[in-house]
Structure 1
C-alpha cells in the first residue's frame, strides 16, 4: 500500500494565517490553527493552492459572516472515540456553545468530560470542526489549539453575526 499524497496551501483569514491539507479525494485532513506553525515551516505534502480553493472561499465567507456551516468532506486521522467527539463538535450550531460535560453526557459518558476534552484538543481540523464552541462548565474559556485569544475572537465573531451581546467572556 502506498502513502496517499496530501496537498496543502496557506489560508488567509481575518483571524490569522493558517495552513490546510486535503487528500487525493479533496477531503480535508488538517487545518492548522497555529499561526506561527503555519507561517514558519515548510508543510509536508505537495503545495497545490488550487486544491484548497473551495476551503479558502468558505473561510472568506465565514469571515464575512455569510457562512455558518462549512460544506467540506472531512478525513481527519484519529481513533473511533475521537471521531465520535469530532462528529459531536460538528453538530454544535454556529453561535452556540456547550461544555465538555454536556458533550460527554450526549455521548453516553457519565464522567467523560476529561476524555472529551482530550479528544477535542486533538481535533486536527479546528475552526472547520468547531472545537472553539466548547467551553468550561462554569462558562469560562478553556484551552484551544490556536490559543485563547483566537477562541475568544471566533466566539465573539459568531455572536456578532447572530446578534448576541459581545461581552460573552468579559
Structure 2
C-alpha cells in the first residue's frame, strides 16, 4: 500500500493506493503511514497527482484513474458509482440520485453514502446538493471544500 499527500488549493489531500488502484482519498491525515510502494502504485500515484493538478488548474473535466471500492455496503457502492456519472459543472440533488438508483425513498441513505464516499473529488459527491439548492453535508463537515469545488467547476465550465 502506498500513502501519499497531494497539496491542493483546498488543503492537503491524502491518497491510498493499493495494487495499482486508488482506494482512498481523504482530507484528514492517516493514522499511520506504512509505505511499501510498488512500481504499479508509483505509476498510479503519478497519474493521480497529474490528473488532480489538471483538475485544479481547470483543464481536466473528468478523471481517468484506476480506482477500486474496497469497503462499503452494496448500496453505498451503487451510490458511489452513480456519482461518477454526474457531469462536470452539473449538480444533482440527493433525490435525483435516489431516483436514478430506482428508489425515491432512499434520499437519506444516499446522503449517508455520500458522506462516506472514499474517493471525493474523483467520485464527485460535491456535485450533490439539497433539492432546495442548499449545500448540505460534504464529507462530514467540509462544506467550505464543497463550495470551493462547485465554484471552481462553474468558473472553468465551458458550454
Say yes or no: TM over 0.5.
yes
SS at match of 1:142: coil
> What is residue 103 of structure 1 aligned with on the other side?
97
Task: Find 1:18's aligned residue among 13, 38, 41.
Answer: 13
User: Is 70-79 or 87-96 further displaced after alignment?
Assistant: 70-79
- RMSD (Å) for aligned C-alpha atoms: 1.8
Distance 1:110 1:135 in 2: 16
Distance 2:74 2:142 in 1: 26
Distance 2:118 2:145 in 1: 16
Distance 2:51 2:154 in 1: 18
Asked if the contact 1:12–1:56 (Cα under 8 Å) also holds between the matched residues in 2, the reply is: no
- What pairs up with 1:111-126 in 2 under 5 angstroms? 111-126=105-120
Question: Structure 1 residues 50, 104: closer, same or farther in 2, change over 3 A?
Answer: same
> What is residue 146 of structure 2 aligned with on the other side?
151
- What pairs up with 1:131-146 in 2 under 5 angstroms? 131-145=125-139
Deviation string, structure 1 residues 32-84 (Cα, Å, up to 9, x no partner): 1x2xx32xx55443164835111011110001101010111211221111111
Query: Structure 2: 5+ residue runs without aligned partners?
Result: none
TM-score of the two chains, using structure 2 as the length reference? 0.89
User: Is 46-55 or 62-71 further displaced after alignment?
Assistant: 46-55
> What is residue 58 of structure 2 aligned with on the other side?
65
SS at match of 1:86: helix
Deviation string, structure 1 residues 81-108 (Cα, Å, up to 9, x no partner): 1111011100000010000011101111
Asked if the contact 1:95–1:155 (Cα under 8 Å) also holds between the matched residues in 2, the reply is: yes
Distance 1:161 1:71 in 2: 19
Distance 1:43 1:134 in 2: 31
